[in-house]
Structure 1
Amino acid sequence: MNARSRHRTFYLVPISRETGLTSMALGLVRALQLAGVRVGFVKPIVQPESMIGDTDLASHFARTLCGTTTPDPIPFAHAAELVRTGQIGSLMEEVVALVETVRANHDVVVVEGLIPDADIQIATRLNIGTIRSLGADLIPVIAGGSRDATELAAIAATAAEQYGDEGRRPLAGVLVNHCGDGAGADLLMTVGALDVPGTEKPVAILSAVPTVTRVSAPRVLDVAEGLGLGIFHRGAIETVRAESILVAARSPEKLMRHLKSGTLVVTPSDRSDAILTAALVAQRGMPLAGLVLTCGGTMVPELAALFDTPPLDRLPILTTDDDTFTTASRLSNLSSHVGREDGERMERMISFIAEKVDTRPLLRRLDLPVEQLMPPPVFRHRLVEAARLAGKRIVLPEGDEPRTIRAAAICAEKRIAHCVLLGAPDRIRAVAKAHGIDLPAEVEIVDPETVRGTYVDPMVELRKAKGLNALQAHKQLEDTVVLGTMMLAKGDVDGLVSGAVHTTASTVRPALQLIKTAPGSSIVSSVFFMLMPDQVLVYGDCAINPDPTAQELAEIAIQSADSARAFGIEPKVAMISYSTGSSGTGLDVDKVREATALVRGRRPDLVIDGPIQYDAASVESVGRQKAPDSPLDGHANVFIFPDLNTGNTTYKAVQRSAGVVSVGPMLQGLRKPVNDLSRGALVDDIVYTIALTAIQAAAGDKTVAELDTAAE
């Protein structure tokens, strides 16, 4: 019987220095997680500190960004000493023990090898010894560049010969990074596998990742520290990223066209014309990365004063004694190493790589029942995939708002939804250009002036019971949120997202007036999806209902449980109170107790308990003490708060104190999906809210179809 092992160890061995080994390893971890596989990560031996300038960043990012079980690695100096003194067998015992602590509880362990650079002989021996000791499947990591399939196959053959244990350790696949323009797509679409000399079967190309500067762009702070540049003006140096380098050696009128979003401008300190040109472009809204002043000078006081007021006060200005040519050369050769403090950059790289990894060849090597895990990366991935399948039109009333425009462009690029921007087309395009946003043709721009009249009569009909006349309707439709809501009411779009510059009331009020509640719902409520390190929790209601009655609280619980299930989370509902079970009395506890009973009567299929304290609902050991008979077992994932004061305070406390990303609020109970944004929303927040809305629209279509079938 040739049953395949339930456990696999994949050893990633780099073929050269510049393969982006750690980001590729963690990208593979993320991709396997998205496929529902339990993945552990081990960096057995630390890369020599002289090479990377920091200790064990691979393990750090594996824990913090991928949520993996990752032990501390063995110091390189200790490993090298054991090799030099002939004790490599003892070292391998330590390595195996390290990996075994992870392998016992995971289906797959991804092991990151050593880069054969600083001490090539020792690093190579350690890679060979570790692969053999672990019985690992070998995956070479190759820098693609402009290489074609034949050249890549030859490199893979060298790796197989060097590390393949004389053919006993075949290649599980190859990971190719840093592909040139178009090369990655060609490799996967037209090649798919490499005919590697010396191997019996073609070797799968697991990834062909293109180089995209916006994904790997360093912070200007990292540029300054990496090259030892002086800081003349900090600005937003900790957050602004340098996507491209431009030497300002042309006249102002020719220079302006080259100043794009993320450009770091290099110019001699006495080139006032170049400095003023950059300041003018930045003043108009172009988000430049900053200025590097060369040749040992600084800015004259008259010019420096310009950078003391918004928006120029955000522009970092660096200085160096080197000449412009030397500075540009040093910048172009800046290390791509990601520092410990820049988790945002590493997260972008991991997510980008994970999207480019084809895990199917690796999954075929496993014999696993795919477990439906729901850590944050899986949630976000499934969110995007479900939105793509939905194929919905989402209207964005704040069409000339920069974050909204960028989110619409991202949604078009990732095929998340067909976005409709409401606003004057010239204004929207001007804002996009000023912020360096390339608007794809798939993003639709609708001028309110040309369509407003279409919705006057339908709005009068919807609001005739309130005595609305045509003149009043026309006036109200001047508000783009109202106009977008009417487009939704008439079925011209499938959902609406607003709130980047509008209040919650401005978004919700038109929806209540024109969309109204769904069949079977008496109230509108909200949920936040809280992306905790290892799972996604649902919090409701944290945005809409100040003090719901027991009946309303029960409806909020049912709506929230259904929302959780719609997004792949099997709900275990905790009705939160300051007391657990029958230990407390009073109106507030009685309300929660009554609401819990109502839910049990209406929805016996739901796992629910209440009143229960948060710790008893979410911590297994506490639950055993305080609520030993609770069906939640300390593993609740849907938390219903008794009032808005409690819910809103809790979600913000968790979000800010624990550094947790929250997606929402997502509104529940409307006939068609309308969702509100925080006015401090980031671009990613808007993107994911658009995805949520598209999925809600698809779920609503299904519900309507079911109701129609039942009526027949």
Structure 2
Amino acid sequence: MTISLYISTLEADSGKALLALGIIEQALLKTTKVGFFRPLIRGTSTGKKDKEIELIITQFNLPQNYEDSYGLLESEVLQLINQHKHEQVLEKIITKYKSLEANCDFILCECSDYLGQSLALEFDINREIVQNLGCPIILLTNGYQKSIEEITSTIQIALDAYQEKNCQIMGIVVNKVVSQQINELNQVLASEYDQFNYLLSVIPYTSKLENPRVGEVAAQLQASLIDGKKKLDNLVSDYLVTAMQVSNALNWLEEGQLIITPGDRGDLILAMLQAEHSVNYPSLAGILLSGGISPAPSILKLIDGLAHPLPILSVETDTYTTAALAKEVKGSIIAGDIEKIRLSLELFAKYVDGTKLEKRLREIKSHGITPKMFIYNLHQQAKSLRKHIVLPEGGEPRILQAVSFLLSQGMVDLTLLGSRKDIESSIRKHGINLDVNTLNIITPKQHPKFSEYVETFYELRKHKGMTLDAAKDYMIDVSYFGTMMVECGDADGMVSGAVHTTQHTIRPALQIIKTKPGFSLVSSVFFMCLESHILVYGDCAVNPHPNPEELAEIALASAETASIFGIEPKVAMLSYSSGSSGKGEEVEKVRQATAIAQQRQPELQLEGPMQYDAAVDAAVAAQKMPGSKVAGQATVFVFPDLNTGNNTYKAVQRETGAIAIGPILQGLKKPVNDLSRGCKVEDIINTVAITAIQAQNI
């Protein structure tokens, strides 16, 4: 399983590169399969690459392409949002992340840069991304020129916002803190957050990391270079604006200054060049000429003859504007900047507890999976081993729209039942992107195996009074024909119900496929896709009044279904009473069912009877069922009867906006699944994927 981590900030210039460098270096001590991913990057009209992606890939020689290292450009995100295609933002980012993750043991994600106009929107997007990727978070904030109260307030706002979305916080790092505040801030953070076992780090402000190179000043001011190309990597520690006499200007020189002066001050230019070569004056970073004035030809000739001249830049703006713009230039850590990279790694090693970071990463457990990631995983799992699914309702437009998507994604192989003429007519009428000549279409009565299926069905049901003529009539029915395809191995699973009733879909399966060994009944579950996690509800569609043995079987089947789809089963046997307090026929039924299920699978985390609030709320669980391994963290909910289950799933669906995928049938030897007659195209797609995955696990 890939371990992931997400660096999240609330503002620009927090120092993400320092933290990313340190974390990646530490990860590479444990595995070579390390990846770096930025869900959103700014991008430029000139096509320049993201500096931090280039830095990390180059510094550590990571085996990933630049294009694989980010999700979307911020401009693409805004375009999709303006087109009301918000869902596509997450889908595209998840797809690219999962593609990179497939080759990694550890993947570090880094949030966007917060350089746009709508910081609140950018934060909300980042929060939604980290929620769906399921990464634990290191919260990074900028402490420069802030009071301790301002720093802690910012941290708490971010913590509250992320915890509102059930995101996991792994650590808090405050960067760029002035030395006078470090000890006090460490104490404040420890008193507030040690109880949560967070990784806590305070990194001091280090001017060398903040200072720009002369080349960065040139790039951001769009300056032209007169000379000194070899020294564009000089660090700029400060700026000196001067138009005074040379004798006075020399007294103001300090190490690493960029001298700003009008371009026609040849005397100052020559003086600064001479000072650079004098042992009596500090080394300068360069000279920035303002006003768009080029030095006199004689000055240029002199400069051209120097062996190692200072970098000399020229801009069109006046001196005052030039100085103001220069002071806004932010230094960055870029690929190949050995000095800043080395300093960053030294600061990380000194101020971030690497041992605790590694320990916390090992301790991180998944808090569930978001609907987007669950559905993505469904589709990928279905693609991993393509199965053949038969769809009896071949002429239904929603089925055909789903077929178009499923085939375009290479998710499954499909057979449609029905008249080729009717299916072709439906495709044309509804403008569906399908070529009927590429579809596998079967009209039951005309199929070469029709008589064989009739004979097989007759043999299966003759003890119930079935005749050959009756068997033939049954086999003309698409639901019976599709079910027989599955039974005879001519398809791996069947999905129906967009037009037919549940009974019409299930009855043939019960008569032909029957239950698998160890199961006496067919039951169902719904995957309830809540905002931040997935729950499994059973049985909400098939069995009206299960007895204790049947209820135990539903619980075990539901736990197995949860496991197949990547959900750790923690099963709550629901009733109107928790633990041993309640009495009555219904609660006793649940108590007996719990005992039967525990006896059959003692290793399964399954408890009951339990009320719904105790099953989902840790605080209630601590009061009603202290010490329980299921209460407060249940993932599979087994309802005592169909009335309770069906109404509960519909209430949750309507009141919370949850997506309900199902019913998913369980207990059959081979998979057959039922659709709601009000299903949407995406419901059909997901149910086909689920059926394919069930077939993979037979």
Instruction: Give TM-score scaled by structure 1 length.
Output: 0.55
Deviations, residues 320-365 of structure 1 (Å, cap 9, x unaligned): xxxxxxxxxxxxxxxxxxxxxxxxxxxxxxxxxxxxxxxxxxxxxx
Q: CA deviation at 1:467?
A: 2.1
Q: Is the 8 A contact 1:615 1:622 kept in 2?
A: yes
Question: Could you tell me the percent identity over the aligned residues?
Answer: 41
Q: Is the 8 A contact 1:501 1:679 kept in 2?
A: yes
| Correspondence list, 1:53-64, <5 A | 56-61=120-125
Letter in 1 for 2:423: I
Q: Is the 8 A contact 1:67 1:533 kept in 2?
A: no
Q: 1:65 to 1:399 in 2, by over 3 A?
A: farther
Q: 1:94 to 1:429 in 2, by over 3 A?
A: farther
Residue number among 550, 553, 578 corresponding to 1:552 in the alignment: 550
Gaps in structure 2 of 5+ consecutive residues: 1-21, 28-34, 46-72, 81-87, 136-142, 173-205, 213-325, 342-359
| Residue 437 of structure 1: aligned partner | 432
Q: Is the 8 A contact 2:37 2:108 kept in 1?
A: no
Q: CA deviation at 1:657?
A: 1.0
Q: CA deviation at 1:637?
A: 0.2
Letter in 2 for 1:449: K
| Residue 449 of structure 1: aligned partner | 445
Deviations, residues 237-272 of structure 1 (Å, cap 9, x unaligned): xxxxxxxxxxxxxxxxxxxxxxxxxxxxxxxxxxxx
Matched, 1:384 2:382: no
Q: 1:168 to 1:658 in 2, by over 3 A?
A: same
| Residue 19 of structure 1: aligned partner | 75
Letter in 1 for 2:532: D
| Correspondence list, 1:228-627, <5 A | 374-439=369-434, 443-451=439-447, 452-627=450-625
Give 3-state SS (helix, strand or coil) of 1:663's partner.
Answer: strand
The 2-side partners of 1:21 and 1:97 are apart by 30
Q: CA deviation at 1:44?
A: 7.4
Q: Is the 8 A contact 1:496 1:675 kept in 2?
A: yes
Q: CA deviation at 1:498?
A: 0.3
Give 3-state SS (helix, strand or coil) of 1:604's partner.
Answer: coil
The 2-side partners of 1:532 and 1:502 are apart by 28
RMSD of equivalent CA atoms:
4.4
The 1-side partners of 2:612 and 2:605 are apart by 16
Q: 1:393 to 1:107 in 2, by over 3 A?
A: farther
Deviations, residues 428-466 of structure 1 (Å, cap 9, x unaligned): 112112212122566421122311444211111111111
| Residue 684 of structure 1: aligned partner | 682
Letter in 1 for 2:334: R
Q: Is the 8 A contact 2:36 2:107 kept in 1?
A: no
Q: CA deviation at 1:15?
A: 1.5
Q: Is the 8 A contact 1:47 1:56 kept in 2?
A: no
The 2-side partners of 1:650 and 1:46 are apart by 45
Letter in 2 for 1:448: P
The 1-side partners of 2:438 and 2:533 are apart by 34
Q: How many correspondences in the alignment?
A: 444
Residue number among 335, 339, 347 corresponding to 1:170 in the alignment: 335
The 1-side partners of 2:109 and 2:331 are apart by 28
Q: Is the 8 A contact 1:44 1:99 kept in 2?
A: no
**Greater alpha carbon shift after TM alignment, 606-615 vs 448-457:** 448-457
The 1-side partners of 2:127 and 2:676 are apart by 29
Give 3-state SS (helix, strand or coil) of 2:476's partner.
Answer: coil
Q: Is the 8 A contact 1:46 1:56 kept in 2?
A: no
Deviations, residues 49-98 of structure 1 (Å, cap 9, x unaligned): 7xxxxx9444445556864699xxxxxxxxxxxxxxxx996699979985
Letter in 1 for 2:44: I
| Residue 320 of structure 1: aligned partner | none
Letter in 1 for 2:420: P
The 1-side partners of 2:94 and 2:524 are apart by 33
Letter in 1 for 2:384: L
The 1-side partners of 2:669 and 2:89 are apart by 45
Q: CA deviation at 1:474?
A: 1.4
Q: 1:469 to 1:134 in 2, by over 3 A?
A: farther
Q: Is the 8 A contact 2:606 2:630 kept in 1?
A: yes
| Residue 249 of structure 2: aligned partner | none
| Residue 260 of structure 2: aligned partner | none
Q: Is the 8 A contact 1:376 1:532 kept in 2?
A: yes
**Greater alpha carbon shift after TM alignment, 513-522 vs 451-460:** 451-460
Deviations, residues 83-142 of structure 1 (Å, cap 9, x unaligned): xxxx99669997998589469955799xxxxxxxxxxxxxxxxxxx9xx8899xxxxxxx
The 2-side partners of 1:2 and 1:611 are apart by 46
Q: 1:682 to 1:25 in 2, by over 3 A?
A: closer
Letter in 2 for 1:20: E
Give 3-state SS (helix, strand or coil) of 2:75's partner.
Answer: coil
Q: CA deviation at 1:376?
A: 2.1
Q: Is the 8 A contact 2:371 2:533 kept in 1?
A: yes
The 2-side partners of 1:65 and 1:655 are apart by 23
The 2-side partners of 1:56 and 1:134 are apart by 28
Q: CA deviation at 1:654?
A: 0.7
The 1-side partners of 2:584 and 2:210 are apart by 64
Give 3-state SS (helix, strand or coil) of 1:645's partner.
Answer: helix
The 1-side partners of 2:648 and 2:115 are apart by 40
| Residue 666 of structure 1: aligned partner | 664
Instruction: Give TM-score scaled by structure 2 length.
Output: 0.56
Give 3-state SS (helix, strand or coil) of 2:697's partner.
Answer: helix
Q: Is the 8 A contact 2:378 2:690 kept in 1?
A: yes
